[in-house]
């Protein structure tokens, strides 16, 4: 292989990428856009829920109760309302998602050791978030109850408040959140998105770049030149891999700095794994490009393949272990599944070379095998 010729092909390819407006857009804008769109679109965090309070009691106790909600990171307090009628109107106009109505004898009933009934009106239009809002409200109500009961009992029995609190809570529940300590879904979504985007974009870029030459006929120049098949394919591959590496860095920065996902593992491991993954996915794109004749077909096939593989067969949504028979085998035939484990490992679980080195080896073999297949499929002598 003559490196000078490889370099020439790569340089020509690079120039073409910079000059083709749509291709350039795909290469550099698409990954960032996908990251932002899916980052916000797939994260199901429910926060800043607009709510208001109708306080008909006007006592320190009722204000205290409202404060439990006002201080929560999940709710965003929009002020007190004069009456339930105003609450109805604002809920109907979707200015509020929730209204807490505290009745007139709230403090009096509580002080008498009785039950005070209050109401929480929740907009049920979006059922998914409504369920979570209900859970937030019940959790806060539970905490407020415990506080008031303990305070009152301590006063009545003349015991220290801590002792009463212990009596009131015989079972202490220590919750440990695994993988995602702040329960922010973007922490888990962002690493998965790096896998998804690097499965989607590199094959698309690669497939389009070869097929474009077929469509315009520029491929005949290659066929009639002294350049060898391996030199041409390598020269095509390099710029595409370089672009994807730049994108990988951008995506990593977006995930960690912009979305704030924690990165607990080794950066060296992540870099090596990502480079190998990009080689694999780009090689797949090259394979597609050799099998089709039009840009349209190249685009559709590479997009459909990438989307199906990265969403359904990578462990992004359902774990691979839950797949049955043929699907299980299918998942193992693509690099997405292995990389998903690596990226999750590097971000959330701090697993690195010592556990995942077999997967890296698989990538090396995989990329070489696909590239060799491309080499066999690519012919300078046309059939017709």
Partner 1 sequence: MKRPAPRTMTLARIWLQQIAVLAAKEIRQLLRDRALFIYTVYIFTANILIAAGGASNELRDAPVRVHDADRSVASRDLIYSFQEPQFRLAGEVDSPTEALRLLDRGEAQMVLDIPSDFEISLRRQQPAHVQALIDTSQANIGYLASSYTARIVARYSEPWVQRNIIRAGGDPRQLPTIKNELRVWYNPGLDSKWFNTISELLTMVTVACILLPAAAMIREKERGTLEQLLVSPLTPLQIMLSKLLSMMLVMLCGTAVAIFGIMMPLYHVPFVGSVPLFFLLAALYAFTNAGLGLVAATFARNSAQVGLVVLLMVMPIVMLSGTWTPMESMPVWLRGLMYFSPLRHFIEIAYGILLRGAGFGLLWDSVLPMAAIGVALFALGLARFRRQFT
Pair 274, 248: CB distance under 8 Å = yes
CB of 173 to partner 1, least distance (A): 5
* Closer Cβ to partner 1, 153 or 373, answer by number: 153
Find the helix or strand (DSSP H, E) in which 102 lies: strand 98-102
Is residue 93 at the binding interface for partner 1, with CB under 8 A as the rule?
Answer: yes
Listed in sequence order, the residues at least 6 apart from 261 whose beta carbon sits closer than 8 Å to its beta carbon are: 186, 187, 190, 191, 255, 347
Residues of span 320-349 touching partner 1 by CB under 8 A: 321-322, 348
Name residue, tokens 């995942």.
356
CA distance 345 to 360: 13
Among 1, 4, 175, 257, binds partner 1 (CB under 8 A): 175
Short-list 269, 272, 208, 196, CA closest to 239: 208
Q: Please choose, out of 104-112, 245-253, 359-367, 373-381, the segment that lies near partner 1 by the rule CB under 8 A.
A: 104-112
* Closer Cβ to partner 1, 3 or 139, answer by number: 139
Q: Could you give the string, one character per residue 242-261, with x where binding to partner 1 holds by CB under 8 A and - elsewhere? A: --------------------
Pair 122, 98: CB distance under 8 Å = yes
Residues of span 24-63 touching partner 1 by CB under 8 A: 26, 30, 33-34, 36-38, 40-50
Listed in sequence order, the residues at least 6 apart from 363 whose beta carbon sits closer than 8 Å to its beta carbon are: 273, 276, 277, 279, 280, 335, 338
Is residue 230 at the binding interface for partner 1, with CB under 8 A as the rule?
Answer: no
* Closer Cβ to partner 1, 16 or 123, answer by number: 123
Among 8, 185, 228, 266, binds partner 1 (CB under 8 A): 185
CB of 84 to partner 1, least distance (A): 11
Is residue 79 at the binding interface for partner 1, with CB under 8 A as the rule?
Answer: no
CB of 112 to partner 1, least distance (A): 8
CA distance 197 to 30: 9
Q: Please choose, out of 89-97, 238-246, 264-272, 358-366, the segment that lies near partner 1 by the rule CB under 8 A.
A: 89-97
Name residue, tokens 């030199």.
231
Pair 39, 190: CB distance under 8 Å = yes
CA distance 148 to 255: 42
Is residue 376 at the binding interface for partner 1, with CB under 8 A as the rule?
Answer: no
Is residue 22 at the binding interface for partner 1, with CB under 8 A as the rule?
Answer: yes
Helix axis angle for 30-42 and 229-253, nearest 10°, is 40
Residues of span 153-172 touching partner 1 by CB under 8 A: 153, 156-157, 159, 164, 166-172
* Closer Cβ to partner 1, 157 or 267, answer by number: 157
CA distance 134 to 159: 34
Pair 70, 77: CB distance under 8 Å = yes
Residues of span 105-144 touching partner 1 by CB under 8 A: 109-132, 134-139, 141-142, 144
* Closer Cβ to partner 1, 3 or 183, answer by number: 183
């Amino acid at each position: 292989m003559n490196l000078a010729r490889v370099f020439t092909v790569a340089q020509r390819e690079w120039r073409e990428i910079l000059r083709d407006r749509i291709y350039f857009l795909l290469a550099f804008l698409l990954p960032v856009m996908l990251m932002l769109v899916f980052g916000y679109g797939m994260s199901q965090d429910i926060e800043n829920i607009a709510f208001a309070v109708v306080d008909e009691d006007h006592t320190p106790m009722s204000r205290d109760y409202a404060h439990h909600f006002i201080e929560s990171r999940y709710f965003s307090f929009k002020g007190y309302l004069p009456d339930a009628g105003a609450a109805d109107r604002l809920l109907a106009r979707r200015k509020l998602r929730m209204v807490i109505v505290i009745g007139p004898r709230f403090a009096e009933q509580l002080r008498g050791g009785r039950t005070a009934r209050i109401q929480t009106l929740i907009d049920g239009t979006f059922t998914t978030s409504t369920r979570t809002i209900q859970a937030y409200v019940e959790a806060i109500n539970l905490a407020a109850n415990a506080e008031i009961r303990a305070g009152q009992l301590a006063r009545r029995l003349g015991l220290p408040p801590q002792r009463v609190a212990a009596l009131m809570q015989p079972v202490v529940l220590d919750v440990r959140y695994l993988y995602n300590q702040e329960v922010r879904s973007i922490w888990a979504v962002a690493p998965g998105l790096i896998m998804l985007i690097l499965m989607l974009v590199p094959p698309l870029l690669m497939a389009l770049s070869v097929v474009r030459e077929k469509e315009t006929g520029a491929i005949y120049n290659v066929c009639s030149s002294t350049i060898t098949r391996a030199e041409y394919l390598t020269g095509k591959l390099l710029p595409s891999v370089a672009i994807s590496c730049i994108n990988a860095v951008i995506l990593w920065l977006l995930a960690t700095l912009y979305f704030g996902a924690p990165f607990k593992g080794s950066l060296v491991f992540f870099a090596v794994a990502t480079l190998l993954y990009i080689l694999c996915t780009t090689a797949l794109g090259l394979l597609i490009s050799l099998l089709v004749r039009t840009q349209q077909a190249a685009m559709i096939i590479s997009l459909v393949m990438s989307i199906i593989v990265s969403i359904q067969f990578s462990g992004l949504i359902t774990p691979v272990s839950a797949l049955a028979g043929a699907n299980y085998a299918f998942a193992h035939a693509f690099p997405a599944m292995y990389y998903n484990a690596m990226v999750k490992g590097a971000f959330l679980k701090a697993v690195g070379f010592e556990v995942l080195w077999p997967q890296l080896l698989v990538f090396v073999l995989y990329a070489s095998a696909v590239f060799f297949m491309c080499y066999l499929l690519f012919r300078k002598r046309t059939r017709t």
